[in-house]
Amino acid sequence: MATENPMRRFHVVIPCAGSGSRVSMGSPKQYALLNGVPMVVHTLRVFQSVLGLAQSVLVVAPDDSVMGDVLRQWPQSEFFVSHTGGATRAQSVLAGLNALIDKGVGPEEWVLVHDAARCLLTPALVEKLLLACFEDQVGGLLALPLPDTLKEESHGRVGKTLDRFGKWLAQTPQMFRLGMLQQALVSAGPSVTDEASAIENAGLSPLLVPSAAFNFKVTYAEDLQMAQAILSDRYRSTHSPT
Ligand code: C5P
């Protein structure tokens, strides 16, 4: 378990209130079992192992009856559950920030917002983001320079090819100060799809911190198989005899 260090304290908000309809599982994807452990537990374990983790929140749907059981079976000491998820991701994140404020977390504290479904995140990537952003005025996000050629669709065909130079894929965690992010999300409204967009709307430029392709978000059914394969491979390489 991580030990709190006031010099580099950070909080985490995990929005976990989506239905996961694109993964076609019948139940929210964060509860899919990977190596016998729910996806969200893999995600939480990463943060629990990073030095400086302070009180953090999992935002679930008001009618979620699963997360409580999951945390009883796989306890995560720094995380509490808030049944305040909204209709959009931005509303769920805002509810998570408000839950932290209710617990007494101050506006200058750093908050990392991370999708439950990016379960292949590593402690090293979190460290990289923390190191890059702690001294920054704005904050930033993990992101990946676009590796492929980018097409704009027109009625099922290529409308045009867009210039990929300078284009990045936004990932999570995204790291901002609590007060700044809360105000930015209130101003931006419920439809922004990531925290950085809200900060950009406020006229600021988040830092792009180069990430890795493996930090993808489990979105479609085949992503589950890929996540399973990578987790099994990591498990084998840390448990194989030397
Ligand atoms: O749907 P998508 O995969 O983009 O969702 C990203 C993250 O936001 C997921 O962890 C999902 O549970 C969460 N989310 C949420 N509240 C919503 C929609 C999505 O917490 N209303």
Number of domains in the chain: 1
Structural domain boundaries enclosing 200: 6-239
Note the pLDDT of residue 25: 62
Q: State if residue 95 touches ligand 1 by the CB under 6 angstroms criterion.
A: no
Note the pLDDT of residue 221: 87
pTM of the complete model: 0.94
Distance of CA 15 from the midpoint of ligand 1 (Å) = 6
Closest CA to 223 of 127, 145, 105, 120: 120
Note the pLDDT of residue 19: 74
Residue 133, domain member (yes or no):
yes
Q: Provide block-wise average pLDDT over 10 residues at a time, the chain (242 residues).
A: 64 90 70 94 97 97 95 96 97 98 98 97 98 96 96 98 96 98 98 98 98 95 93 85 64
Per residue in 150-176, pLDDT (tens digit) is: 999 999 999 999 999 999 999 999 999
Residue 1, domain member (yes or no):
no
Residue 196, domain member (yes or no):
yes
Pocket test for ligand 1, best of 58, 89, 114, 120 (most atoms within 8 A of CB): 89
Tell me the C-alpha distance between 176 and 194, whole Å.
12
Note the pLDDT of residue 236: 86
Note the pLDDT of residue 224: 93
Note the pLDDT of residue 21: 58
Q: What is the CATH number of the domain that holds 83?
A: 3.90.550.10
Residue 122 vs residues 8, 42, 52, 182, 207: alpha-carbon distances, Å: 18, 10, 15, 26, 19
Query: What ligand 1 atom has the least distance to the C-alpha of 15?
Result: 20
Note the pLDDT of residue 27: 75
Note the pLDDT of residue 58: 98
Q: State if residue 15 touches ligand 1 by the CB under 6 angstroms criterion.
A: yes
Tell me the C-alpha distance between 172 and 195, whole Å.
9
Per residue in 18-49, pLDDT (tens digit) is: 876 555 566 788 999 999 999 999 999 999 99
Note the pLDDT of residue 228: 94
Residue 181, domain member (yes or no):
yes
Pocket test for ligand 1, best of 115, 218, 223 (most atoms within 8 A of CB): 115
Residue 27, domain member (yes or no):
yes
Give the residue, by CA position, lying nearest to ligand 1 atom 6. 115
Residue 111, domain member (yes or no):
yes
Residue 217, domain member (yes or no):
yes
- The tokens for 78 are 């720094």
